[in-house]
Homo-oligomer: A and B are copies of this chain.
Amino acid sequence: MPDSQMHLAAFITAGPGRPGGWRYPGSVPGWLSARYYQDIARTLEDARFDLAFFADILSVPDRFGGSTDSQLRNGALGSMRIDPLHVLSSMGAVTSHLGLAATVSTTYAQPFTVARSFASLDHLTDGRAAWNVVTSFQESEARNFNLDEQFSRNQRYERADEFLEVAGKLWDSWEDDALVLDTETPLFADPDRVHAINHAGEWFTVQGPLNVPRPPQGYPVVIQAGASTKGKDFAARWSDVIFCSHASLESAKDFYTEIKERATAHGRDPGSIKILPSIAPVVGATHAIAQQTFDALFELVPPLGGLSTLAYHLDVDLSTFPLDERLPDVEVPGVEGHYREVREITERDGLTLRELGKQYGGRAEGGFIGTATEVADGLEHWFTEGACDGFMVQAPYQPGGFEDFTRTVVPELQKRGLFRDEYEGNTLRENLGLPRPEPGEWANRISTQKAVQ
């Protein structure tokens, strides 16, 4: 049964966000300052958001003409990005309920390090940590980690599967009651309840145990945004939350149905996966103000900023195509989901590549532009039509865009009973309505998988 209320996450960039957004009057260039993120965190928690989410990338992409210039010059999505894990701890220090999600790649990290990092964050924030699992898809990232070229998509997902298997074993390596703290005996931790994991697989050999007790949430919340068939399957197996991007209600509904079916096939309760499409609402006191705000923002998007971001998202060097013609059909090694979206836009609106660059950089994903009532109507429609369990909300410019949304749209959703007035629980899992996993739950999921195959 779908939830009766939607979940709201904020998509924040630890760097300039939407191309052009940093040029908008009132945008604050505070991406290097803890205060900036802490102010956003307070705004979101006051509005009862489920979580703050940080995307990530491990390079300045050079997929457009083999150069980082167009990213840097235009302050495009990949131009600058600080480590989201530090940002989360800073935000955690000034909040008590907001979930805290960071992207970490399974391709360029080690399971012991990542399992420990999220377990530590989960303890320090009393159960509010979430991990957006990505497999990475840029050659420029591979080249920052000793490789000439990336592993194939298949290899990356195989590695990711094993990475999560090991992480789960490490989180389970301390039983929930292993930390005894008996000062008399003394018995600090009970050795009979802390176990080596002795994992020896294709990609990783890890003895364990972790040197951190089991996280308050059992496992941190797992988020995923894989868009290929392989990616959707991975997401259906492991994710608590799925983040996606759609150009229309129809494609969102199709995706929603498909993922819930895949989850069922994996023996999981489809209600235990929350699907949150990314939206970029622009809200105004009147419809005209909202539209003019959107137009003013759109005006500021440098076409090559958007285009060089699209180039790295698709992993296609778009500098080789004529700017004033339509993008032809291309082979896309990168994010298939973004390509699907781009094809839909290009055909619907008859865009040249230059226009597409501006559109890709400046589009209001989901098309929610209007008064708070109008935006709430749109969100309600998507939600009740079965296209999603809530939304991943981008701000058209930071931090003001979050203030506008939380001050006007959230109260409207609350009035309609579509969004919480108060947090239901303390941990992120509790607020998402997800059970705390029992030790061994992932191990069981893997062996069920193996039995099914």
Q: Taking the complex as formed, is A78 at the interface, i.e. its CB lies under 8 A from any CB of chain B?
A: yes
Q: Taking the complex as formed, is A408 at the interface, i.e. its CB lies under 8 A from any CB of chain B?
A: no
Interface residues of A in 387-405 (CB under 8 A from B): none
| Inter-chain contacts of A85 with B (CB < 8 A) | 85-86, 89, 117
User: Complex Cα distance A80/B147, Å?
Assistant: 34
Q: Taking the complex as formed, is A434 at the interface, i.e. its CB lies under 8 A from any CB of chain B?
A: no
Which of B75, B94, B194 makes the CB contact (< 8 A) with A68? B194
Q: Taking the complex as formed, is A208 at the interface, i.e. its CB lies under 8 A from any CB of chain B?
A: yes
Task: Judge whether A186 and B302 touch: CB under 8 Å.
Answer: yes
Interface residues of A in 118-147 (CB under 8 A from B): 119-121, 123-126, 140, 143-147
User: Complex Cα distance A238/B408, Å?
Assistant: 54
**Interface flags, A180-193, vs B, CB<8A=1, else 0:** 01010011111100
Task: Judge whether B124 and A33 touch: CB under 8 Å.
Answer: yes
User: Complex Cα distance A247/B297, Å?
Assistant: 66
* Contact A80 B189, CB 8 Å, known A33-B124, A143-B205: yes
Task: Judge whether B125 and A34 touch: CB under 8 Å.
Answer: yes
Which of chain B's residues has its CB closest to A197's CB?
B144
Which of A33, A69, A90 is most buried by chain B, counting CB atoms within 10 A of its CB? A90
| Inter-chain contacts of A117 with B (CB < 8 A) | 83, 85-86
Task: Judge whether B110 and A208 touch: CB under 8 Å.
Answer: no
User: Complex Cα distance A325/B89, Å?
Assistant: 48
* Contact A80 B34, CB 8 Å, known A68-B194, A72-B194: no
Interchain residue pairs with CB less than 8 A apart (12): A32-B123, A33-B126, A68-B209, A69-B191, A72-B191, A73-B187, A79-B189, A82-B119, A93-B94, A112-B145, A143-B207, A144-B207
Q: Taking the complex as formed, is A38 at the interface, i.e. its CB lies under 8 A from any CB of chain B?
A: yes
Which of chain B's residues has its CB closest to A60's CB?
B211
Mostly, the A contact residues are loop
Interface residues of A in 58-102 (CB under 8 A from B): 58-60, 67-69, 72-76, 78-83, 85-90, 92-94
Q: Taking the complex as formed, is A411 at the interface, i.e. its CB lies under 8 A from any CB of chain B?
A: no
Q: Taking the complex as formed, is A321 at the interface, i.e. its CB lies under 8 A from any CB of chain B?
A: no
* Contact A186 B23, CB 8 Å, known A191-B68, A191-B72, A209-B60: yes
Task: Judge whether B188 and A74 touch: CB under 8 Å.
Answer: yes
Which of chain B's residues has its CB closest to A187's CB?
B73
* Contact A211 B78, CB 8 Å, known A85-B85, A85-B117, A146-B206: yes
| Inter-chain contacts of A148 with B (CB < 8 A) | 205
User: Complex Cα distance A358/B191, Å?
Assistant: 21
| Inter-chain contacts of A208 with B (CB < 8 A) | 144
| Inter-chain contacts of A207 with B (CB < 8 A) | 59, 140, 143-144
**Interface flags, A160-204, vs B, CB<8A=1, else 0:** 000000000000000000010101001111110010100000001
Task: Judge whether B89 and A211 touch: CB under 8 Å.
Answer: no
Task: Judge whether B144 and A34 touch: CB under 8 Å.
Answer: no
Task: Judge whether A79 and B33 touch: CB under 8 Å.
Answer: no
* Contact A59 B211, CB 8 Å, known A23-B186, A93-B38: yes
* Contact A93 B211, CB 8 Å, known A72-B194, A86-B124, A302-B186: no
Which of chain B's residues has its CB closest to A20's CB?
B186
* Contact A23 B183, CB 8 Å, known A110-B145, A211-B57: yes
